[in-house]
Amino acid sequence: MRIVRFLYQGHISWGVVENNVIAVLKRHPFGKLQFSGARIAFSKVELFPPASPSKIILIGLNYRDHAREFGMDVPLEPVIFLKPPSALIAHQENIIYPRGVKRLDYEAELALVIKKEGRFIKENDASDYILGYSCLNDVTARDMQKKDGQWTRAKSFDTFCPFGPWLETKLQPGDLSIASYLNGERKQFSTTSDLIFSVPFLVAYISRVMTLLPGDIISTGTPAGIGKMKNRDIIEVEIEGIGRLWNQVVADTKH
């Protein structure tokens, strides 16, 4: 099923999409789903990111083709980094191109949302802790990443984490096509079978470092083909079984 978080008549709610209609939930989906009985046309709502995380955990260099692209060795362990929740934006929201950034890149990724609190999760039990999957764009100020030698500033600007449009709960993540499109032209294409570290392994590995909480996002890395964006570009992330995440880049005119 497709779970959405949305704004309607001034209220943020959760719901399940059923044939262009949203069946509204009484409360968040981190537990047994309870329906309110209300139904709203999908076209009448504004989508929000389908998570409200305490943290956004991402994995660097997790596709074999991406490692080959940069002439790098396959890592022996996952490389973990974080984005702040303030970077999160929804499907169809704008990515702000900050002043002072000279190169802004897209990175298409498969991401998941944690369903319940977990620490020292066993790899075989990882699926019990996953609510659903969605598309994520790990927007990166590439020039700042190279300048700083670490990734926090380059990946943490507001709007640098487009996520959505919804969570797909019935998905097997082991062999899904993943692509990005810049102004309609395909730039990245791979499958999650090329992941170096699988989804269950990542959930277990990360939970040995930090407690995972309901709503936390884990993003699994990007395949080869990353590239730059400019003002007014439209960037889309498409993942098999989920759909497309659409965002436009706009220049920062406020600061």
Query: Looking at residues 155-160, what average pLDDT do you find?
Result: 98
Q: Where are the alpha helices (DSSP H) in the chain?
A: 64-69, 142-148, 152-155, 199-207
Q: How confident is the model at residue 52 (pLDDT cuts 50, 70, 90)?
A: very high
Amino acid at the residue 132: G
The pLDDT, as a whole number, for residue 74 is 85
Q: Which three-class secondary structure state does DSSP give residue 1?
A: coil
The phi-psi region of residue 253 (left if phi > 0; otherwise alpha if psi is between -120 and 50; otherwise beta) is alpha
Q: How confident is the model at residue 67 (pLDDT cuts 50, 70, 90)?
A: confident
The pLDDT, as a whole number, for residue 101 is 97
Measured from the Cβ of residue 217, the count of other Cβ atoms closer than 10 Å reads 25
Please give the biggest Cα pair distance in the chain: 54
pLDDT at 222 over 80: yes
pTM over 0.95: yes
Q: Which two tokens stand for residue 202?
A: 């990542």
pLDDT at 70 over 80: no
The pLDDT, as a whole number, for residue 29 is 98
CA distance 149 to 146: 6
First to last CA, the chain: 41
Residue 195 gets which letter from DSSP? B
The pLDDT, as a whole number, for residue 214 is 98
- pLDDT tens column, 117-155: 999 999 999 999 999 999 999 999 999 999 998 999 999
Q: How confident is the model at residue 39 (pLDDT cuts 50, 70, 90)?
A: very high
Q: Which residue has the higher pLDDT, 221 or 75?
A: 221
- pLDDT tens column, 169-217: 999 999 999 999 999 999 999 999 999 999 999 999 999 999 999 999 9
